Amino acid sequence: MSPSRGPLVAGAAVAAAAAVTLTVVVWPEGSGSGTQNGPASAARASASPSPSRSYPLSTTPRTIPAVREHTPARGPGWKPAKDSTVVAADPGLTDEAKLLARELKISYGGEKDPGVGDVQLALAPSGKGGPESYTLRTAGDRVTISGTGQAGVFYGTRTLKQSLNADGSMPEGVVRDTPDRPQRGLNLDIARKHYSVDWIESRLREMADLKLNQLGLHFSDDQAFRIESDTHPEVVSEQHLSKAEVRRIVKLAQSLHITVVGEIDSPGHLGAVLRAHPDLQLRNTQGVARQGAIDISKSASAKIVDDLLNEYAELFPGDWFHVGADEYQALTVSDPAASYPQLATAAREKYGEGATVQDLTEGWLNDRAAVIRKAEKIPKAWNDGFFSGGTVTAHKDIEVEYWTGKEIGARPPQEYLAEGRDVINLNDEYLYYVLGEPNDFTYPTGERIYEQWTPFVLRGTEPVAERYSKQILGGRFAVWGDLPNAQTQEQVAEGIRMPLNAVSQKLWDPREPKLTWAQFEELADSTR
């Protein structure tokens, strides 16, 4: 927590610009020394108000992301005092109340009515806003944070914490706040670069304060397979996370209202799995292997991937699982059927005489998505795994994670949206932090995201039409470990800090930001 700035000052002192100003007005009894007597002075005394305080209208609390609505009021605002406590009006909010009390260095008061100086967390009646919405009222030297869901109440505590960090107080008045997009988060490639549990947990806490709610973990790729496996321990790399460590990460994430989304990419990017199962490697007619590509004509290929999907769908209890589907190397050659006749034959056998290798690949995506659906999760896949013009099309309930328009099979985002698909924004022009900056990538800056990007900018720099707004579910900032030693864990953490702040702002509040980048950057430093 940063040192408080701009505390309330009595009398005529001028407070810091963002703080609430307190003025003490003392009404004089006379113009000279001593007490004046007589009818005139008595009449004047009876007409004069007793000594009182007056306050200017409060200003909007300074937070990242900015609150959507604040109704100002006159009053001193709130800041924790020696006897302040955090109380919960519902037992379901105990964890949120205890966390806030620890952060503010005050006591947790249990489940009871709030007193003067207290903060109360409460669940509001259903029907008043979504589960991530909240109302924060500051009046009478107390704060009440309410919402229809625990997540919303938790986000209200983040607003209170940030306002205290930035300006030393929570301004008087009422905050009504809700996110613009339901999915907001960070995608982390732990396959190509190993990150410690402590490092990941630090990112979760940082995300929570920014009201981000989704962490994607890409843990399988050509370079490594980074999570312990019971079904196929032979595929796991030497440096990996144990299942106990993953459960620890997931438990913290859940307490911070963040969903951890696991990803096993297939039928490409399976190099680590194929090193243990070389018989499943895709090979052309000359016997040349394609890196990371599994032979999807073999039933054993589907079995091992489905074994892993079922195993990790259970390990990650959230609503989603990512099945990859990007960059299948069989489709990058000029004539896939000639180079890989076994795939062409399998396509015709499964989908009919006119079916192609593309259809077999699309069918693979549908089959893997069916495994995830059976596990009662929503499947996600990269946009270049959704093809057009074939016999087989991807199921509509697979969420499209749009990252590029440059890869084989990739299409303009408008095409996916016009098909009625839901899309999540991972635009590689703004949201890809690729270690070592290979392939013309450059490290994205928070300033560029803040000033140029919106959820509508799915590809390149041009936005799609606003009529597709309801289908754009949100976005994630992505860290990829192509050259894993290019940065240390500490350098990655610092490099992504301001981009995450900017992404948080743009996914929570659809309006043009009021602060300049310099002001936003200063605020990010003061709210930490």
pLDDT in tens, 61-100: 999 999 999 999 999 999 999 999 999 999 999 999 999 9
Per-residue tokens: 496: 């992504």
Question: Would you state the pLDDT for residue 410?
Answer: 82
Is 255 exposed, middle or buried, given 0-12, 13-18 or 19+ CB atoms closer than 10 A? middle
Query: What integer pLDDT is reported at residue 2 of this predicted model?
Result: 39
What is the average pLDDT value for the chain, to the nearest integer? 91
Tens digits of residue pLDDT in 259-300: 999 999 999 999 999 999 999 999 999 999 999 999 999 999
Tell me, what DSSP letter sits at residue 217? E
Q: For residue 406, name the pLDDT band (cuts at 50, 70, 90).
A: confident
pLDDT at 14: 34
Beta bridge partner(s), residue 425: 402, 475
In angstroms, how far apart are the furthest CA atoms of the chain? Answer: 116
pLDDT of 333-362, one tens digit each?
999 999 999 999 999 999 999 999 999 999
pLDDT, tens only, 233-246: 999 999 999 999 99
Per DSSP, the residues of 307-341 read HHHHHHHHHS-SSEEEEE----GGGGSS-HHHH-H
Would you say residue 384 has pLDDT above 70? yes
Provide mean pLDDT across the span 123-137. Answer: 89
146 pLDDT more than 80: yes
**pLDDT of 36 over the 90 cut:** no
pLDDT of residue 41: 39
Residue 46 has pLDDT above 70, yes or no: no
- Angle subtended by helix axes 197-209 and 489-508, to nearest 10: 20
In the structure, what pLDDT confidence band is assigned to residue 136 with cuts at 50, 70 and 90? very high
Q: Quick check: 23 and 53 in contact, CB under 8 A?
A: yes
pLDDT of residue 125: 83
Compute the average pLDDT of residues 443-453.
98
pLDDT of residue 407: 82
Averaged pLDDT for residues 187-201: 98
Please determine, for residue 22, whether its predicted confidence score (pLDDT) is greater than 70. Answer: no
- Integer Cα distance of 387 and 438 in angstroms: 27
Question: How far is 191 from 236, CA to CA, in rounded Å?
Answer: 11
Can you list the pairs that 447-451 forms with residues at least 24 positions away whose Cβ atoms lie under 8 Å? 447/498, 447/502, 447/517, 447/521, 449/499, 449/502, 449/503, 449/506, 450/502, 450/505, 450/506, 450/513, 450/517, 450/520, 451/517
Q: How confident is the model at residue 4 (pLDDT cuts 50, 70, 90)?
A: very low
Which of 491, 394, 496 shows the shortest CA–CA distance to 445? 496
Residue 416 pLDDT > 90, yes or no?
yes
Sign of the torsion angle spanned by Cα atoms 334, 337, 343, 347: positive
pLDDT band, very low/low/confident/very high, at 54 (cuts 50, 70, 90): confident
Average pLDDT rounded to a whole number, residues 9-17: 35
| pLDDT score of 102 | 98
